[in-house]
Structure 1
Protein backbone atom coordinates (compact mmCIF):
# COMPACT_ATOMS: atom_id res chain seq x y z
CA UNK A 1 0.00 0.00 0.00
CA UNK A 2 1.14 3.55 -0.76
CA UNK A 3 0.11 6.51 1.43
CA UNK A 4 0.51 10.18 0.58
CA UNK A 5 0.32 12.66 3.47
CA UNK A 6 -0.13 16.32 2.52
CA UNK A 7 1.23 18.98 4.85
CA UNK A 8 1.28 22.77 4.90
CA UNK A 9 3.29 22.61 8.16
CA UNK A 10 0.29 23.68 10.25
CA UNK A 11 -0.86 21.96 13.42
CA UNK A 12 -3.82 20.52 11.52
CA UNK A 13 -1.63 18.90 8.89
CA UNK A 14 0.82 17.71 11.56
CA UNK A 15 -1.97 15.44 12.81
CA UNK A 16 -2.38 14.10 9.29
CA UNK A 17 1.34 13.33 9.06
CA UNK A 18 1.27 11.48 12.39
CA UNK A 19 -1.85 9.49 11.44
CA UNK A 20 -0.34 8.59 8.06
CA UNK A 21 2.83 7.40 9.80
CA UNK A 22 0.84 5.27 12.23
CA UNK A 23 -1.15 3.69 9.39
CA UNK A 24 1.98 3.12 7.30
CA UNK A 25 3.69 1.43 10.24
CA UNK A 26 0.73 -0.85 10.94
CA UNK A 27 0.26 -1.85 7.29
CA UNK A 28 3.91 -1.83 6.16
CA UNK A 29 2.99 0.82 3.58
CA UNK A 30 5.16 3.18 1.58
CA UNK A 31 4.80 6.74 2.87
CA UNK A 32 5.39 10.00 1.02
CA UNK A 33 5.08 13.46 2.56
CA UNK A 34 4.12 16.19 0.10
CA UNK A 35 4.14 19.96 0.41
CA UNK A 36 2.81 22.26 -2.31
CA UNK A 37 4.59 25.55 -3.00
CA UNK A 38 2.53 28.34 -4.55
CA UNK A 39 3.90 28.90 -8.06
CA UNK A 40 2.06 32.22 -8.53
CA UNK A 41 5.09 34.21 -7.40
CA UNK A 42 8.59 35.05 -8.70
CA UNK A 43 10.69 32.09 -9.79
CA UNK A 44 13.46 32.83 -7.28
CA UNK A 45 10.94 32.81 -4.43
CA UNK A 46 9.46 29.50 -5.63
CA UNK A 47 12.95 28.00 -5.66
CA UNK A 48 13.70 29.35 -2.17
CA UNK A 49 10.44 28.01 -0.72
CA UNK A 50 11.02 24.65 -2.41
CA UNK A 51 14.44 24.27 -0.77
CA UNK A 52 13.04 25.31 2.61
CA UNK A 53 10.10 22.89 2.28
CA UNK A 54 12.45 20.01 1.47
CA UNK A 55 14.50 20.87 4.56
CA UNK A 56 11.47 20.96 6.84
CA UNK A 57 10.06 17.71 5.43
CA UNK A 58 13.40 16.03 6.03
CA UNK A 59 13.39 17.25 9.61
CA UNK A 60 9.86 15.96 10.16
CA UNK A 61 10.75 12.52 8.84
CA UNK A 62 13.52 12.34 11.42
CA UNK A 63 11.70 13.99 14.33
CA UNK A 64 8.05 12.93 14.28
CA UNK A 65 7.65 9.89 16.52
CA UNK A 66 5.28 8.01 14.22
CA UNK A 67 7.75 8.42 11.32
CA UNK A 68 10.96 7.63 13.16
CA UNK A 69 12.61 4.59 11.61
CA UNK A 70 9.88 4.34 8.97
CA UNK A 71 11.00 4.41 5.31
CA UNK A 72 9.57 7.71 4.08
CA UNK A 73 10.33 10.21 1.36
CA UNK A 74 9.71 13.90 0.86
CA UNK A 75 8.13 15.45 -2.22
CA UNK A 76 7.71 19.16 -2.99
CA UNK A 77 5.61 20.26 -5.95
CA UNK A 78 4.64 23.71 -7.26
CA UNK A 79 1.10 24.78 -8.10
CA UNK A 80 -2.30 25.27 -6.53
CA UNK A 81 -2.63 23.20 -3.34
CA UNK A 82 -5.41 20.86 -4.48
CA UNK A 83 -3.93 20.37 -7.98
CA UNK A 84 -0.45 19.79 -6.58
CA UNK A 85 -1.73 17.18 -4.14
CA UNK A 86 -3.61 15.37 -6.91
CA UNK A 87 -0.53 15.37 -9.16
CA UNK A 88 1.60 14.04 -6.30
CA UNK A 89 -0.96 11.32 -5.57
CA UNK A 90 -0.98 10.29 -9.22
CA UNK A 91 2.82 10.28 -9.50
CA UNK A 92 3.19 8.07 -6.43
CA UNK A 93 0.20 5.84 -7.34
CA UNK A 94 -1.23 6.55 -3.89
CA UNK A 95 -3.85 4.22 -2.47
CA UNK A 96 -4.74 6.82 0.17
CA UNK A 97 -4.32 10.56 0.61
CA UNK A 98 -4.19 11.80 4.21
CA UNK A 99 -4.89 15.46 4.96
CA UNK A 100 -5.64 17.63 7.96
CA UNK A 101 -8.93 19.46 8.37
CA UNK A 102 -8.65 22.92 6.84
CA UNK A 103 -9.82 26.16 8.38
CA UNK A 104 -13.14 27.19 6.87
CA UNK A 105 -13.50 30.45 4.94
CA UNK A 106 -17.28 30.86 4.85
CA UNK A 107 -18.43 32.24 1.47
CA UNK A 108 -15.28 31.09 -0.34
CA UNK A 109 -15.83 27.56 0.93
CA UNK A 110 -19.45 27.61 -0.18
CA UNK A 111 -18.59 28.68 -3.73
CA UNK A 112 -15.26 26.92 -4.25
CA UNK A 113 -14.65 24.50 -1.38
CA UNK A 114 -11.67 23.92 0.88
CA UNK A 115 -8.55 22.28 -0.49
CA UNK A 116 -9.54 18.91 0.94
CA UNK A 117 -13.05 19.16 -0.52
CA UNK A 118 -11.60 19.96 -3.94
CA UNK A 119 -9.21 17.02 -3.72
CA UNK A 120 -12.12 14.74 -2.83
CA UNK A 121 -14.45 16.26 -5.42
CA UNK A 122 -12.10 16.12 -8.40
CA UNK A 123 -9.72 13.23 -7.66
CA UNK A 124 -10.06 9.44 -7.83
CA UNK A 125 -8.29 8.81 -4.51
CA UNK A 126 -9.70 7.86 -1.12
CA UNK A 127 -9.00 10.79 1.21
CA UNK A 128 -8.68 10.56 4.97
CA UNK A 129 -9.40 13.88 6.72
CA UNK A 130 -7.82 13.86 10.17
CA UNK A 131 -9.68 15.97 12.73
CA UNK A 132 -8.70 14.37 16.02
CA UNK A 133 -5.52 13.96 18.01
CA UNK A 134 -3.44 10.92 17.09
CA UNK A 135 -3.02 8.60 20.04
CA UNK A 136 -3.45 5.03 18.77
CA UNK A 137 -4.63 3.04 15.73
CA UNK A 138 -8.29 3.28 14.83
CA UNK A 139 -10.35 0.88 16.94
CA UNK A 140 -13.92 1.60 15.83
CA UNK A 141 -15.52 2.78 12.59
CA UNK A 142 -18.96 3.89 11.45
CA UNK A 143 -20.18 3.67 7.85
CA UNK A 144 -23.46 5.02 6.44
CA UNK A 145 -25.20 2.70 3.98
CA UNK A 146 -27.63 4.20 1.47
CA UNK A 147 -28.31 1.09 -0.68
CA UNK A 148 -25.89 2.28 -3.37
CA UNK A 149 -22.78 0.78 -4.86
CA UNK A 150 -20.95 3.87 -3.65
CA UNK A 151 -21.52 3.00 0.01
CA UNK A 152 -20.49 -0.62 -0.60
CA UNK A 153 -17.30 0.54 -2.31
CA UNK A 154 -16.54 2.87 0.60
CA UNK A 155 -16.86 0.06 3.16
CA UNK A 156 -14.73 -2.33 1.12
CA UNK A 157 -12.10 0.35 0.56
CA UNK A 158 -11.99 1.14 4.26
CA UNK A 159 -11.44 -2.51 5.09
CA UNK A 160 -8.76 -2.84 2.41
CA UNK A 161 -6.94 0.15 3.91
CA UNK A 162 -6.89 -1.54 7.30
CA UNK A 163 -9.66 0.43 8.98
CA UNK A 164 -11.66 -1.47 11.59
CA UNK A 165 -13.98 -4.17 10.33
CA UNK A 166 -16.00 -6.97 11.86
CA UNK A 167 -17.57 -6.21 15.22
CA UNK A 168 -15.64 -2.92 15.37
CA UNK A 169 -17.50 -1.60 12.30
CA UNK A 170 -21.03 -0.24 12.75
CA UNK A 171 -23.37 0.46 9.84
CA UNK A 172 -26.10 3.10 9.92
CA UNK A 173 -29.01 3.48 7.49
CA UNK A 174 -31.46 6.38 7.31
CA UNK A 175 -35.07 6.02 6.16
CA UNK A 176 -37.70 8.72 5.64
CA UNK A 177 -41.42 7.83 5.98
CA UNK A 178 -42.45 10.28 3.28
CA UNK A 179 -46.19 10.31 4.03
CA UNK A 180 -45.76 10.98 7.76
CA UNK A 181 -46.12 14.75 7.46
CA UNK A 182 -49.16 14.50 5.21
CA UNK A 183 -50.80 12.08 7.63
CA UNK A 184 -50.16 14.48 10.51
CA UNK A 185 -51.68 17.46 8.69
CA UNK A 186 -54.61 15.30 7.61
CA UNK A 187 -55.42 14.82 11.29
CA UNK A 188 -54.86 11.06 11.45
CA UNK A 189 -54.43 9.59 14.90
CA UNK A 190 -50.96 9.17 16.46
CA UNK A 191 -51.49 5.39 16.54
CA UNK A 192 -52.16 5.35 12.80
CA UNK A 193 -49.07 7.43 12.10
CA UNK A 194 -46.92 5.30 14.43
CA UNK A 195 -48.17 2.18 12.67
CA UNK A 196 -47.21 3.62 9.30
CA UNK A 197 -43.72 4.55 10.53
CA UNK A 198 -43.27 1.05 12.00
CA UNK A 199 -44.23 -0.48 8.64
CA UNK A 200 -41.74 1.80 6.86
CA UNK A 201 -39.01 0.82 9.32
CA UNK A 202 -39.74 -2.86 8.68
CA UNK A 203 -39.62 -2.28 4.93
CA UNK A 204 -36.32 -0.41 5.25
CA UNK A 205 -34.92 -3.21 7.42
CA UNK A 206 -35.82 -5.85 4.85
CA UNK A 207 -34.35 -3.79 2.01
CA UNK A 208 -31.11 -3.21 3.91
CA UNK A 209 -30.79 -6.87 4.92
CA UNK A 210 -31.24 -7.98 1.30
CA UNK A 211 -28.77 -5.32 0.11
CA UNK A 212 -26.06 -6.35 2.58
CA UNK A 213 -26.61 -10.01 1.71
CA UNK A 214 -26.37 -9.33 -2.04
CA UNK A 215 -23.09 -7.45 -1.55
CA UNK A 216 -21.48 -9.92 0.84
CA UNK A 217 -21.56 -7.55 3.81
CA UNK A 218 -23.85 -9.57 6.04
CA UNK A 219 -21.29 -11.96 7.49
CA UNK A 220 -18.64 -9.67 8.96
CA UNK A 221 -20.16 -9.36 12.41
CA UNK A 222 -20.78 -5.62 12.21
CA UNK A 223 -23.65 -3.98 14.05
CA UNK A 224 -26.43 -2.36 12.03
CA UNK A 225 -28.70 0.49 13.09
CA UNK A 226 -31.69 1.83 11.14
CA UNK A 227 -32.90 5.29 12.09
CA UNK A 228 -35.69 7.57 10.92
CA UNK A 229 -34.56 10.91 9.52
CA UNK A 230 -32.65 12.71 6.80
CA UNK A 231 -29.24 11.17 6.03
CA UNK A 232 -27.05 13.89 7.56
CA UNK A 233 -29.18 14.11 10.70
CA UNK A 234 -29.00 10.34 11.19
CA UNK A 235 -25.24 10.20 10.52
CA UNK A 236 -24.59 13.13 12.87
CA UNK A 237 -26.65 11.56 15.67
CA UNK A 238 -24.93 8.19 15.20
CA UNK A 239 -21.49 9.83 15.42
CA UNK A 240 -22.51 11.69 18.57
CA UNK A 241 -23.90 8.54 20.23
CA UNK A 242 -21.29 5.94 19.25
CA UNK A 243 -18.23 8.24 18.98
CA UNK A 244 -16.37 6.17 16.36
CA UNK A 245 -12.67 6.75 15.74
CA UNK A 246 -13.32 7.15 12.01
CA UNK A 247 -16.33 7.64 9.75
CA UNK A 248 -16.26 5.90 6.35
CA UNK A 249 -18.43 7.52 3.68
CA UNK A 250 -18.73 7.32 -0.09
CA UNK A 251 -19.00 10.32 -2.40
CA UNK A 252 -21.37 10.57 -5.33
CA UNK A 253 -20.32 11.81 -8.73
CA UNK A 254 -22.30 15.04 -8.97
CA UNK A 255 -20.41 17.91 -10.59
CA UNK A 256 -20.80 21.50 -11.67
CA UNK A 257 -22.66 24.45 -10.24
CA UNK A 258 -25.49 22.33 -8.79
CA UNK A 259 -23.05 20.49 -6.57
CA UNK A 260 -21.16 23.68 -5.67
CA UNK A 261 -24.30 25.43 -4.49
CA UNK A 262 -26.34 22.58 -3.04
CA UNK A 263 -23.55 20.42 -1.70
CA UNK A 264 -24.00 16.80 -0.76
CA UNK A 265 -24.32 14.69 2.36
CA UNK A 266 -20.59 13.98 2.21
CA UNK A 267 -19.68 17.66 1.99
CA UNK A 268 -22.01 18.47 4.89
CA UNK A 269 -20.36 15.70 6.90
CA UNK A 270 -16.88 17.02 6.06
CA UNK A 271 -17.78 20.56 7.07
CA UNK A 272 -19.77 19.79 10.20
CA UNK A 273 -18.59 16.67 12.04
CA UNK A 274 -15.56 16.65 14.32
CA UNK A 275 -14.41 13.11 13.59
CA UNK A 276 -11.79 11.60 11.30
CA UNK A 277 -13.48 10.92 7.95
CA UNK A 278 -12.48 8.60 5.11
CA UNK A 279 -14.18 9.87 1.93
CA UNK A 280 -14.15 7.31 -0.89
CA UNK A 281 -14.98 8.31 -4.48
CA UNK A 282 -17.09 6.05 -6.71
CA UNK A 283 -15.35 3.52 -8.91
CA UNK A 284 -14.52 5.17 -12.25
Structure 2
Protein backbone atom coordinates (compact mmCIF):
# COMPACT_ATOMS: atom_id res chain seq x y z
CA UNK A 1 0.00 0.00 0.00
CA UNK A 2 1.52 3.29 -1.16
CA UNK A 3 -1.14 5.98 -0.76
CA UNK A 4 -4.02 6.47 1.68
CA UNK A 5 -6.76 9.11 1.51
CA UNK A 6 -8.53 10.04 4.75
CA UNK A 7 -11.62 12.23 4.52
CA UNK A 8 -12.58 14.37 7.50
CA UNK A 9 -15.43 16.70 8.42
CA UNK A 10 -13.58 17.65 11.64
CA UNK A 11 -15.98 15.61 13.78
CA UNK A 12 -14.93 13.21 16.54
CA UNK A 13 -15.71 10.22 14.34
CA UNK A 14 -13.55 11.67 11.56
CA UNK A 15 -10.72 12.30 14.04
CA UNK A 16 -10.75 8.57 14.83
CA UNK A 17 -10.50 7.84 11.12
CA UNK A 18 -7.46 10.10 10.72
CA UNK A 19 -5.71 8.38 13.61
CA UNK A 20 -6.45 4.93 12.16
CA UNK A 21 -5.24 6.05 8.72
CA UNK A 22 -2.05 7.32 10.37
CA UNK A 23 -1.46 3.97 12.08
CA UNK A 24 -1.90 2.18 8.75
CA UNK A 25 0.35 4.66 6.95
CA UNK A 26 3.10 4.36 9.53
CA UNK A 27 2.99 0.56 9.42
CA UNK A 28 3.04 0.35 5.62
CA UNK A 29 5.17 3.39 4.88
CA UNK A 30 2.32 4.82 2.81
CA UNK A 31 1.81 8.48 1.99
CA UNK A 32 -1.29 9.95 3.65
CA UNK A 33 -3.54 12.69 2.27
CA UNK A 34 -6.07 14.38 4.55
CA UNK A 35 -9.11 15.74 2.75
CA UNK A 36 -11.83 18.15 3.85
CA UNK A 37 -14.74 19.10 1.61
CA UNK A 38 -16.36 22.53 1.60
CA UNK A 39 -19.90 23.05 0.33
CA UNK A 40 -20.08 25.24 -2.76
CA UNK A 41 -22.99 27.19 -1.24
CA UNK A 42 -23.17 29.95 -0.13
CA UNK A 43 -20.70 31.11 -2.74
CA UNK A 44 -19.69 34.22 -0.78
CA UNK A 45 -18.29 32.11 2.06
CA UNK A 46 -16.45 29.44 0.06
CA UNK A 47 -13.05 31.17 -0.01
CA UNK A 48 -13.19 31.87 3.72
CA UNK A 49 -14.16 28.28 4.53
CA UNK A 50 -11.40 26.89 2.32
CA UNK A 51 -8.79 29.02 4.08
CA UNK A 52 -10.08 28.08 7.54
CA UNK A 53 -10.22 24.38 6.60
CA UNK A 54 -6.61 24.41 5.43
CA UNK A 55 -5.60 25.97 8.73
CA UNK A 56 -7.42 23.29 10.74
CA UNK A 57 -5.96 20.46 8.65
CA UNK A 58 -2.43 21.76 9.16
CA UNK A 59 -3.08 22.08 12.89
CA UNK A 60 -4.23 18.46 13.00
CA UNK A 61 -1.16 17.29 11.12
CA UNK A 62 1.01 19.04 13.72
CA UNK A 63 -0.92 17.86 16.78
CA UNK A 64 -2.09 14.26 16.21
CA UNK A 65 0.52 11.93 17.75
CA UNK A 66 -0.07 9.08 15.27
CA UNK A 67 0.90 11.39 12.39
CA UNK A 68 4.46 11.81 13.60
CA UNK A 69 6.95 10.35 11.10
CA UNK A 70 4.14 9.89 8.53
CA UNK A 71 4.41 11.54 5.12
CA UNK A 72 1.23 13.58 5.27
CA UNK A 73 -0.38 16.19 3.03
CA UNK A 74 -3.65 18.08 3.23
CA UNK A 75 -6.10 19.23 0.60
CA UNK A 76 -9.46 20.99 0.53
CA UNK A 77 -12.04 20.28 -2.18
CA UNK A 78 -15.30 22.03 -3.05
CA UNK A 79 -18.54 20.25 -3.92
CA UNK A 80 -20.64 17.23 -3.02
CA UNK A 81 -18.73 15.05 -0.53
CA UNK A 82 -18.86 11.71 -2.37
CA UNK A 83 -17.92 13.32 -5.70
CA UNK A 84 -15.05 15.23 -4.13
CA UNK A 85 -13.72 12.14 -2.36
CA UNK A 86 -13.68 10.02 -5.53
CA UNK A 87 -12.07 12.81 -7.56
CA UNK A 88 -9.30 13.36 -5.02
CA UNK A 89 -8.80 9.59 -4.65
CA UNK A 90 -8.26 9.42 -8.39
CA UNK A 91 -5.93 12.43 -8.38
CA UNK A 92 -3.66 11.04 -5.65
CA UNK A 93 -3.93 7.46 -6.94
CA UNK A 94 -5.12 6.21 -3.55
CA UNK A 95 -5.00 2.52 -2.64
CA UNK A 96 -7.37 2.98 0.29
CA UNK A 97 -9.97 5.50 1.46
CA UNK A 98 -10.49 5.90 5.21
CA UNK A 99 -13.59 7.58 6.64
CA UNK A 100 -15.35 7.90 9.96
CA UNK A 101 -18.61 6.06 10.60
CA UNK A 102 -21.61 7.85 9.19
CA UNK A 103 -24.35 9.48 11.21
CA UNK A 104 -27.27 7.12 11.40
CA UNK A 105 -30.15 9.23 10.16
CA UNK A 106 -32.54 6.51 9.05
CA UNK A 107 -35.08 8.40 6.95
CA UNK A 108 -32.41 10.40 5.16
CA UNK A 109 -30.26 7.34 4.61
CA UNK A 110 -33.12 5.41 2.99
CA UNK A 111 -33.53 8.01 0.27
CA UNK A 112 -30.07 9.29 -0.50
CA UNK A 113 -27.63 7.00 1.30
CA UNK A 114 -24.67 8.17 3.32
CA UNK A 115 -21.49 9.62 1.88
CA UNK A 116 -19.51 6.52 2.74
CA UNK A 117 -22.04 4.24 1.05
CA UNK A 118 -22.06 6.40 -2.06
CA UNK A 119 -18.27 6.28 -2.24
CA UNK A 120 -18.36 2.49 -1.93
CA UNK A 121 -21.14 2.07 -4.51
CA UNK A 122 -19.69 4.34 -7.16
CA UNK A 123 -15.95 4.07 -6.57
CA UNK A 124 -13.28 1.46 -7.20
CA UNK A 125 -11.36 1.76 -3.93
CA UNK A 126 -11.42 -0.29 -0.75
CA UNK A 127 -13.06 1.89 1.90
CA UNK A 128 -12.30 1.55 5.60
CA UNK A 129 -15.10 2.80 7.85
CA UNK A 130 -13.68 3.51 11.30
CA UNK A 131 -15.99 3.11 14.29
CA UNK A 132 -13.64 2.45 17.17
CA UNK A 133 -10.91 4.37 18.94
CA UNK A 134 -7.42 3.55 17.75
CA UNK A 135 -5.19 1.56 20.08
CA UNK A 136 -2.81 -0.29 17.76
CA UNK A 137 -2.61 -2.03 14.40
CA UNK A 138 -5.36 -4.58 13.85
CA UNK A 139 -4.62 -7.82 15.69
CA UNK A 140 -7.92 -9.68 15.11
CA UNK A 141 -9.71 -9.61 11.75
CA UNK A 142 -12.95 -11.29 10.71
CA UNK A 143 -13.37 -11.86 6.97
CA UNK A 144 -16.73 -12.74 5.43
CA UNK A 145 -16.27 -15.30 2.67
CA UNK A 146 -19.17 -16.74 0.65
CA UNK A 147 -17.09 -18.38 -2.12
CA UNK A 148 -18.04 -15.67 -4.62
CA UNK A 149 -15.50 -13.72 -6.66
CA UNK A 150 -16.59 -10.60 -4.75
CA UNK A 151 -15.68 -11.92 -1.31
CA UNK A 152 -12.54 -13.61 -2.60
CA UNK A 153 -11.44 -10.27 -4.05
CA UNK A 154 -12.13 -8.57 -0.70
CA UNK A 155 -9.87 -11.04 1.08
CA UNK A 156 -7.12 -10.69 -1.53
CA UNK A 157 -7.37 -6.90 -1.39
CA UNK A 158 -7.11 -6.82 2.41
CA UNK A 159 -4.04 -9.03 2.15
CA UNK A 160 -2.48 -6.84 -0.55
CA UNK A 161 -3.06 -3.71 1.55
CA UNK A 162 -1.11 -5.30 4.41
CA UNK A 163 -4.04 -4.95 6.79
CA UNK A 164 -3.98 -8.67 7.62
CA UNK A 165 -0.27 -8.72 8.47
CA UNK A 166 0.39 -10.06 11.99
CA UNK A 167 -3.37 -10.36 12.67
CA UNK A 168 -5.38 -13.36 13.81
CA UNK A 169 -7.75 -14.10 10.92
CA UNK A 170 -11.12 -15.77 11.25
CA UNK A 171 -13.16 -16.68 8.17
CA UNK A 172 -16.91 -16.37 8.74
CA UNK A 173 -19.28 -18.18 6.41
CA UNK A 174 -23.06 -18.62 6.46
CA UNK A 175 -24.33 -21.79 4.80
CA UNK A 176 -27.79 -23.00 3.91
CA UNK A 177 -28.79 -26.54 4.91
CA UNK A 178 -31.15 -26.88 1.95
CA UNK A 179 -32.82 -30.15 2.90
CA UNK A 180 -33.36 -29.31 6.57
CA UNK A 181 -36.94 -28.07 6.16
CA UNK A 182 -37.85 -31.05 3.99
CA UNK A 183 -36.46 -33.45 6.57
CA UNK A 184 -38.50 -31.73 9.28
CA UNK A 185 -41.68 -32.02 7.22
CA UNK A 186 -40.94 -35.70 6.69
CA UNK A 187 -40.89 -36.23 10.49
CA UNK A 188 -37.20 -37.16 10.46
CA UNK A 189 -35.77 -37.27 13.97
CA UNK A 190 -33.96 -34.26 15.39
CA UNK A 191 -30.87 -36.42 15.75
CA UNK A 192 -30.76 -37.17 12.02
CA UNK A 193 -31.47 -33.54 11.13
CA UNK A 194 -28.63 -32.39 13.38
CA UNK A 195 -26.31 -34.95 11.79
CA UNK A 196 -27.27 -33.65 8.35
CA UNK A 197 -26.59 -30.03 9.35
CA UNK A 198 -23.23 -31.01 10.83
CA UNK A 199 -22.30 -32.77 7.58
CA UNK A 200 -23.23 -29.64 5.61
CA UNK A 201 -21.13 -27.55 7.99
CA UNK A 202 -18.12 -29.80 7.43
CA UNK A 203 -18.66 -29.64 3.66
CA UNK A 204 -18.86 -25.82 3.77
CA UNK A 205 -15.65 -25.62 5.84
CA UNK A 206 -13.85 -27.88 3.37
CA UNK A 207 -14.98 -25.67 0.48
CA UNK A 208 -13.69 -22.59 2.32
CA UNK A 209 -10.30 -24.22 2.78
CA UNK A 210 -10.17 -25.12 -0.93
CA UNK A 211 -11.10 -21.54 -1.81
CA UNK A 212 -8.31 -20.14 0.36
CA UNK A 213 -5.83 -22.55 -1.21
CA UNK A 214 -6.87 -21.37 -4.69
CA UNK A 215 -6.18 -17.81 -3.56
CA UNK A 216 -2.72 -18.80 -2.32
CA UNK A 217 -3.87 -17.86 1.16
CA UNK A 218 -2.47 -19.62 4.23
CA UNK A 219 -5.56 -21.61 5.23
CA UNK A 220 -3.63 -23.31 8.05
CA UNK A 221 -3.22 -19.97 9.78
CA UNK A 222 -6.95 -19.19 9.81
CA UNK A 223 -9.77 -20.01 12.18
CA UNK A 224 -13.31 -20.65 10.96
CA UNK A 225 -16.76 -19.60 12.08
CA UNK A 226 -19.14 -21.57 9.88
CA UNK A 227 -22.81 -21.50 10.82
CA UNK A 228 -26.19 -22.17 9.27
CA UNK A 229 -28.33 -19.11 8.61
CA UNK A 230 -28.55 -15.81 6.78
CA UNK A 231 -25.28 -13.88 6.38
CA UNK A 232 -25.99 -10.79 8.50
CA UNK A 233 -27.08 -12.60 11.71
CA UNK A 234 -24.30 -15.18 11.29
CA UNK A 235 -21.69 -12.43 10.91
CA UNK A 236 -23.21 -10.52 13.84
CA UNK A 237 -23.03 -13.63 16.03
CA UNK A 238 -19.42 -14.19 14.97
CA UNK A 239 -18.52 -10.63 15.97
CA UNK A 240 -20.14 -11.15 19.38
CA UNK A 241 -18.36 -14.47 19.89
CA UNK A 242 -14.90 -13.52 18.65
CA UNK A 243 -14.65 -9.78 19.30
CA UNK A 244 -12.59 -8.83 16.22
CA UNK A 245 -11.34 -5.29 15.65
CA UNK A 246 -12.04 -5.32 11.92
CA UNK A 247 -14.56 -6.92 9.56
CA UNK A 248 -13.69 -7.37 5.88
CA UNK A 249 -16.56 -7.64 3.39
CA UNK A 250 -16.96 -7.53 -0.37
CA UNK A 251 -19.56 -5.34 -2.04
CA UNK A 252 -21.35 -5.65 -5.36
CA UNK A 253 -21.27 -2.68 -7.70
CA UNK A 254 -24.66 -1.15 -8.46
CA UNK A 255 -26.14 1.22 -10.96
CA UNK A 256 -29.34 3.09 -11.64
CA UNK A 257 -32.24 2.89 -9.21
CA UNK A 258 -30.52 0.18 -7.19
CA UNK A 259 -28.09 2.79 -5.86
CA UNK A 260 -30.76 4.22 -3.53
CA UNK A 261 -32.18 0.93 -2.28
CA UNK A 262 -31.19 -0.98 0.82
CA UNK A 263 -30.72 -4.72 1.01
CA UNK A 264 -27.16 -5.85 0.35
CA UNK A 265 -25.32 -7.67 3.10
CA UNK A 266 -22.50 -5.12 3.07
CA UNK A 267 -24.87 -2.17 3.44
CA UNK A 268 -26.69 -3.80 6.34
CA UNK A 269 -23.39 -4.44 8.07
CA UNK A 270 -22.16 -0.89 7.45
CA UNK A 271 -25.33 0.50 8.99
CA UNK A 272 -25.58 -1.77 12.02
CA UNK A 273 -22.15 -3.04 13.11
CA UNK A 274 -20.10 -1.08 15.64
CA UNK A 275 -16.63 -2.32 14.67
CA UNK A 276 -14.36 -1.09 11.89
CA UNK A 277 -15.35 -2.39 8.46
CA UNK A 278 -13.24 -2.66 5.31
CA UNK A 279 -15.65 -2.69 2.36
CA UNK A 280 -14.08 -3.76 -0.93
CA UNK A 281 -15.92 -3.17 -4.22
CA UNK A 282 -15.94 -6.08 -6.64
CA UNK A 283 -13.85 -4.16 -9.17
CA UNK A 284 -11.24 -3.06 -6.63
CA UNK A 285 -7.73 -4.45 -6.33
CA UNK A 286 -4.95 -2.31 -4.84
CA UNK A 287 -1.67 -2.06 -6.70
TM-score by length of 2: 0.93
Q: Which blocks of at least 5 consecutive residues in structure 2 are unaligned?
A: none
Cα distance, 1:64 vs. partner? 0.8
* Match status 1:136 vs 2:136: yes
**Aligned position for 2:18:** 17
**1:47/1:241 CA distance change after superposition, 3 Å:** same
Q: Which blocks of at least 5 consecutive residues in structure 1 are unaligned?
A: none
**Aligned position for 2:84:** 84
Post-superposition Cα deviations, 1:112-154, rounded to whole Å, max 9, x if no partner, equal: 2111111111100110000000111111111011001221211
Q: 1:15-164 residue pairs with structure 2 within 5 A? A: 15-42=16-43, 44-164=44-164
How far apart, CA to CA, are the structure 1 residues paired with 2:48 and 2:166?
49
* Match status 1:230 vs 2:230: yes
Cα distance, 1:167 vs. partner? 6.4
How far apart, CA to CA, are the structure 2 residues paired with 1:254 and 1:196?
37
Cα distance, 1:59 vs. partner? 0.5
Post-superposition Cα deviations, 1:194-248, rounded to whole Å, max 9, x if no partner, equal: 2321232233233223222222224461112211111111111111111111111
SS at match of 2:261: helix
**Aligned position for 1:204:** 204
SS at match of 2:152: helix
Q: 94-103 vs 249-258, which deviates more?
A: 249-258
Cα distance, 1:12 vs. partner? 0.4
* Match status 1:4 vs 2:5: yes
Q: 1:258-273 residue pairs with structure 2 within 5 A? A: 258=258, 260-273=260-273
**1:164/1:198 CA distance change after superposition, 3 Å:** same
Q: Which has the higher contact order (CA 8 A, sep 6+)?
A: 2
TM-score by length of 1: 0.94
How far apart, CA to CA, are the structure 2 residues paired with 1:128 and 1:106?
21
* Match status 1:277 vs 2:282: no
**1:179/1:120 CA distance change after superposition, 3 Å:** same
Alpha-carbon RMSD across the aligned residues, in angstroms, is 1.7
8 Å CA contact 1:167, 1:223 repeated in 2:
no
Cα distance, 1:259 vs. partner? 5.4
**1:16/1:198 CA distance change after superposition, 3 Å:** same
**1:184/1:195 CA distance change after superposition, 3 Å:** same
Cα distance, 1:165 vs. partner? 4.2
**Aligned position for 1:221:** 221
* Match status 1:251 vs 2:231: no
**Aligned position for 2:177:** 177
**1:23/1:125 CA distance change after superposition, 3 Å:** same
How far apart, CA to CA, are the structure 1 residues paired with 2:256 and 2:227?
31
How far apart, CA to CA, are the structure 1 residues paired with 2:95 and 2:152?
17
8 Å CA contact 2:205, 2:226 repeated in 1:
yes
How far apart, CA to CA, are the structure 2 residues paired with 1:182 and 1:254?
35
What is the aligned length?
283
Cα distance, 1:176 vs. partner? 1.1
